[in-house]
Structure 1
Amino acid sequence: MDIGETSNNDTILYLHSISPAGRLLPSASRWNSIEMDFNLFPQSRNNLGYNSLPSRFSKSVDFKLTVTNKKNFKRFIYASLAVVSLIVVLCLLLHFLPNKQRHHGATKDLTLALKQALVFFDAQKSGVLPKDNTVKFRGDSGLDDGNKSLVGGFYDSGNNIKFSFPTAYTITLLSWSVIEYHPKYEEIGELDHIKSIIKWGSDYLLKLFIRPNESSPGSATLFSQVGSVGKNKTSTENDDKCWQRPEDMRYTRPVSSCDETASDLAGEIIAALSAASLVFKDDKMYSTNLTKTAMELFDIVTKDEPGFVQGMYTTKDECGGQAREFYNSTGYKDELVWGGTWLFFATGNTSYLRYTTENLVLAEEEEEELSVDKGIFYWNNKFTANTVLLTRLRYFLDLGYPYEESFLSSTNNVDSLMCSYLSPTMHKTQGICVNYILGDNPMKMSYVVGFSNNYPQHVHHRGASIPWDNQWHSCAEGGTWLNSEKPNPNQLLGAMVRGPDQYDMFLDERDKPWFTEPSISSNAGLVAALVALHDPPHSPSSLNGAGSLGIDSYGIFHNIHLN
């Protein structure tokens, strides 16, 4: 395309063009006379050594620039260089002058908060604990779960129940954060720690899926919960009503199970195993086991057979009836798409990407996403996260046909989301949100236990509220600690409590879980936010052009080699 047009008075008319893909494609652009590459944009897939799929979108734009007035053009070049130099100088001044002390102070605070937030997961471990477990008031527990076949995993919150759905979500999110920000984790000495947390969860998730066998052909089993909130046949005590350390449990812990129609639960487990396989890509045997299990489960829960019906796990009493009160699912297509997306990253198999792109469009057309969940990513809604991942695929790999309809829709959604963040009101809110959690709020209280000088002392948590005195405490004795006004005898370091109400009021009372109870899914979001906001490594290694940001831009594409 010609962008230079000469008139009699030697002026030059410059035009900007956007490709039919709806965005600029700078990585393959060429100026006939002058070639400039400032490495400001992701490299094209060709530069990464990947083969390209055919696309109906143009991947390059040829510019023919005619310079008719060299004197003016030189002035333009000199002026541009001067502006660039000024910007560089200003950036250096902002980095090294008065901001330096405050800048590194903030980094130190985020480092401490991140390290503490990871410790919380060690406090939530169930099963035979590792000898080097950092939480001293915890011991082995839940050793008979599922007749010993479901030992391990994490207690969800302040009670002693293990919910599979939020556990899988937690492992997916933590794995994603490691895939993106492993240089940051490594710099602060927490990479091995978070990988051990993820493996603790992924090991447990592998136990939740029982493949069909000869005795029950075509029927798979998914375990959705260990522990109970209601009465059981042998005891009136349960994991919700009994205030007892997990180490002291002697009551029966029922197990809830589902079949392959629990689509949302299956989709989240698939996503977790697939994302974790990328975290452990250097351990080929373990990574392959995770991926293989995810593929098998995906084939079962997405099968196209007459009479097979997909659905939500909480709609069936025997499957998620008790979880309904805590983690009620309102849709399942977003989880299946979520699982397919991560399986594509884990395997590079384009059949999963095709499933993802086709079904995301269908889910949007059917308006499965609740209006109150628009733009929110959490355990019940994966739409926003799905669109972010597909937008990333579009910009970094530019796959084009036949995925462009879903890619374009995803990009538009992400654009709208980013614009909402940049609005005056949202920009101010987003800028203070982590500071709010860490103490910059009307209560002047950090909602992360152990961070700053003022934080909750009466966290709604059984293990933290009962003394670690090598004595067995019954449920009745535990109730005394639930109602005690004394601070918890054990510090639940790094636990983010639920926090204040809409009026910024917070009551630090143990018997009010809507204020003081933490959960693994919430802490996973906290960890992801803290590592994203953390400063990049001071001595960045080669990270495919993103070292200055502390992000591994292409690690998520490790297994994608398209023909």
Structure 2
Amino acid sequence: MSTELNNFWGIANRQYREVPQGDSGLLDGNASLVGGFYDSGDNIKFSFPTAYTITLLSWSVIEYHKNYKDIGELDHIKNIIKWGSDYLLKIFIPSNQTSPASSTLLSQVGMADVNCWQRPEDMKQERPVFSCDETASDLAGEIIAALSAASLVFKDDEKYSTNLTKMARELFDIVTKEEPGFVQGTYTMKDGCGAQARQFYNSTGYKDELVWGGTWLFFATRNTTYLRYSTEYVVMAEEEELSVDKGIFYWNNKLPAIVVLLTRLRFFFDLGYPYEESFISSTNNVDSFMCSYLSPVDHKTQGLVEVVQMVLVFPLKTCGVSPCLRQVSYIHGDNPMEMSYMVWFGNNYPKHVHHRGASIPWDSQWRSCVEGNTWLNSEQPNPNELLGAMVRGPDLNDMFLDERDKLWFTAPTISSNVGLVAALVALLDLQYPFSSLNGADLLGIDNFGIFDDIHLINQRRL
């Protein structure tokens, strides 16, 4: 890595001890569920944000693969995506492998335990697995989106890419079937499926995830059946959107990103009937909320980086890039607290991140839950640095408490950090103009990569 990049990340000529890593969770699901990601410094694997993370990481690689390659990180990010995709393939169990009646989606491995602060490598206790049936529509939709987007990342590996789209197609057919008595719903609606996840990732709707999944499945397969589904049901998804979520793209609301994808499709391909009406509606929505999000206000880190990613993925005609830089600058210390919310960036960053592996010394000593709790309650800085992680950040009044037990300030969620990754890779190269919609290489973006090899057959006029 160059000296310039070292200085950018704030780690040049400084000593640190990064969080060590070892094997953990090797008995999850009787060893059938090894893999995945722990979230927020806890030893829990949530399927919903994992799938969301893989979707966004894949999207960032599709759009900015040149930037990843230029800094020598393309293989690294693809390895991370494959690790997550492999896990998602494991948590979808088709009916022919269980019972003919229903397919199974696994929503969570492990559970929240406030009495156990322990490194994941030290876990010995049995870890419960939470399962859902095929009515967990939102979870299914996000998994479909993740597998479909990842298939585009690995399109050069035909066997693996085909397997990803095969599973995505199969799951889509299952959860969108129109049969008497079949009911769609949210995965947190049922206790056995999402009772624990409800505390952390409570889903308030499912239609946006199904449209999100259908949209990505169209890009992955070029099958207009999925595009027809997305354009027909996007209005229903908009009706389900909560007023507090209007225009906000994050793990619980995919609509802003959906309309960006559909709008880009309209700009680059004249699809005409029967899609034009939905595309025009999407374009209007983008125009109305995008510039409002880029008005000169300070958005907090929750949801901020996802907005930055969206703005840079969509080549705006009027808003410009400077507001995006302003938002990232807020995360990196240009805020009332003068606090960088990214670990190890700058001189004033969180030292008590809510993270089990970071907060417990790595000295080859096994520690029980009770012994680990000593470190949870310690006022000492973490002995290991969670290099590059962004914490949840300040409250609405710009106040932040760097305290390990206050996870609403200091937890590093994968769902927010994935947006930061996408935003930073998009901002790596600012030498290109940000004013053309004619296929120019805007900020390193691959305008047409997401549409690669799409050849639409003329639609029948009904």
Fold agreement, TM-score > 0.5: yes
Give 1 or 2 for the bigger CA radius of gyration.
Answer: 1
Distance apart, 1:284 and its partner CA: 0.7
Matches within 5 A, 1:299-378: 299-364=173-238, 367-378=239-250
Q: Distance in 2 between matches of 1:113 and 1:283?
A: 36
Separation in structure 1 between the aligned mates of residue 273 and residue 395 of structure 2, nearest angstrom? 47
Query: Could you tell me which residue of structure 1 aligns to residue 46 of structure 2?
Result: 163
Tell me the distance in 1 between the aligned counterparts of 2:25 and 2:7. 34
**Unmatched tracts of structure 2, length 5 or more:** 299-318, 433-437, 458-462
The one-letter code of the counterpart of 1:401 is Y
Alignment equivalent of 2:57, drawn from 163, 166, 174:
174
| CA distance in 1 between partners of 2:430 and 2:450 (Å) | 18
Pairing 1:278–2:152 present: yes
Tell me, what secondary structure is at the counterpart of 2:96?
coil
By how many angstroms is 1:534 displaced? 2.1
Is 1:454 aligned to residue 348 of structure 2? yes
2:25 to 136, 142, 148: 142
Instruction: For residue 327 of structure 1, report the CA deviation from its aligned partner.
Output: 0.3
Which one of 460, 465, 473 corresponds to residue 359 of structure 2?
A: 465
Match of 1:476 in 2: 370
Q: Which residue, 289, 292, 301 being the options, matches 1:420?
A: 292
Following superposition, the deviation at residue 511 of structure 1 comes to: 1.3
Task: Report if aligned partners of 2:186, 2:204 keep a CA contact under 8 Å in 1.
Answer: yes
Residues 143-178 of structure 1 show CA distances to partners (whole Å, capped at 9, x for unaligned) of 000111111000011110000000000000010011
2:264 counterpart of 1:392: yes
Please state whether the residue corresponding to 2:405 is helix, strand or coil.
coil
Kindly tell me the number of residue pairs found equivalent between the two proteins: 426
Identity across the alignment (%)? 76
- The letter of the residue matching 1:325 is Q
Q: CA separation of 1:309/1:243 partners in 2, compared to 1, >3 Å: closer, same or farther?
A: same
Q: Is the 8 A contact 1:338 1:386 kept in 2?
A: yes
* Structure 2 counterpart of 1:445: 339
Q: Distance in 1 between matches of 2:231 and 2:258?
A: 10
Deviation of residue 546 (structure 1)? 2.8
Q: Retained in 2: the 8 A contact 1:263–1:311?
A: yes
Q: Deviations over 1:233-283 (max 9, x none)?
A: xxxxx4x43100001111110000001000000000000000000001111
Q: Structure 2 residue aligned with 1:405, among 233, 255, 277?
A: 277
1:216 alignment partner in structure 2 = 99
Partner of 1:528: 422
Q: Which amino acid counterpart does residue 187 of structure 2 have in structure 1?
A: Y
Cα pair distance change 1:159/1:504, threshold 3 Å: same
**Could you say which residue in structure 1 is the equivalent of 2:126?**
252
Residues 537 and 420 of structure 1: CA distance in aligned 2, closer, same or farther (over 3 Å):
closer
1:501–1:226 CA distance, 2 compared to 1 (3 A)? same
The answer as to 2:159 corresponding to 1:265 is no
Query: Does the Cα contact within 8 Å between 2:9 and 2:344 map onto a contact in 1?
Result: no
What is the letter of the counterpart of residue 425 of structure 2? V
Residue of structure 2 in register with 1:97 after alignment: none
Give, in whole Å, the separation in 1 of the partners of 2:60 and 2:212: 16
SS of 1:213's partner is helix
Report how far residue 515 of structure 1 moved: 1.0
Residue aligned with 1:327, SS: coil
Q: 1:424 to 1:252 in 2, by over 3 A?
A: closer
Are the structure 2 counterparts of residues 443 and 264 from structure 1 closer, same or farther at C-alpha, using a change threshold of 3 Å?
Answer: same
Distance apart, 1:108 and its partner CA: 4.3
Equivalent of 2:394 in 497, 500, 503: 500
Distance 2:289 2:255 in 1: 12
- 1:289 and 1:322 map into 2 onto residues whose CA distance is 31
Contact 2:141 2:172 (C-alpha < 8 Å) held by counterparts: yes
- Please state how far the C-alpha of 1:421 moved relative to its aligned partner: 4.0
1:561 match: secondary structure = coil
SS at match of 2:240: coil
List per-residue Cα deviations over 1:370-393 (Å, max 9, x = no partner).
111111110000010000000000
In 2, the alpha carbon distance for the partners of 1:113 and 1:444 equals 15
What residue identity is the alignment partner of 2:228?
Answer: R
- Mapped to 2, the partners of 1:424 and 1:215 lie a distance apart of 53
Q: Give yes or no for contact 2:237–2:255 (8 Å, CA) kept in 1.
A: no
Residue number in structure 2 paired with 1:289: 163
Match of 1:18 in 2: none
Offset, 1:547: 3.1
Instruction: Give the letter aligned to residue 82 of structure 2.
Output: K
Inter-partner Cα distance in structure 2 for 1:217 and 1:437: 50
The answer to whether residue 315 in structure 2 is matched with residue 432 in structure 1 is: no
How big is each residue's C-alpha offset from its partner over 1:297-338, in whole Å with a ceiling of 9 and x where there is no partner? Answer: 000000111000000000000000110000000000000000
2:71 maps to amino acid: I
Name the aligned partner's letter for residue 519 of structure 1. Answer: T
- Summarize deviations over 1:412-433 as a string: whole Å, max 9, x none: 1001123424656587865521
Residue by residue, what CA displacement relative to the aligned partner does 1:88-114 show, whole Å, maximum 9, x if unpaired? xxxxxxxxxxxxxxxx99x84896389
Residues 184-204 of structure 1 show CA distances to partners (whole Å, capped at 9, x for unaligned) of 111111111111111110010
Stretches of structure 1 that go unaligned for 5 or more consecutive residues are 1-103, 116-133, 230-237, 539-543
Instruction: Give a deviation string over 1:438-495, Cα, whole Å, max 9, x none.
Output: 0111221111001111111111110100011111001111011011111111111111
Alignment match, 2:108: 225
Give the letter for the 2:158 counterpart.
Answer: K
Question: 2: distance between equivalents of 1:551 and 1:251?
Answer: 46
TM-score (norm 2): 0.88
Structure 2: how far apart are the matches of 1:497 and 1:205?
25
Q: Distance in 1 between matches of 2:7 and 2:444?
A: 15
Question: Which digits, 9 at most, give the CA deviation of each residue in 1:61-115, with x for residues without a partner?
Answer: xxxxxxxxxxxxxxxxxxxxxxxxxxxxxxxxxxxxxxxxxxx99x848963899
Separation of aligned partners in 1, 2:395 and 2:56: 26
Describe the shift of the 1:486–1:327 C-alpha distance in structure 2 as closer, same or farther (beyond 3 A): same
**How far did 1:291 drift?**
0.6
Q: 1:202 aligns with which of 71, 85, 99?
A: 85
Tell me how far apart the structure 2 counterparts of residues 219 and 422 of structure 1 sit (CA, whole Å): 45
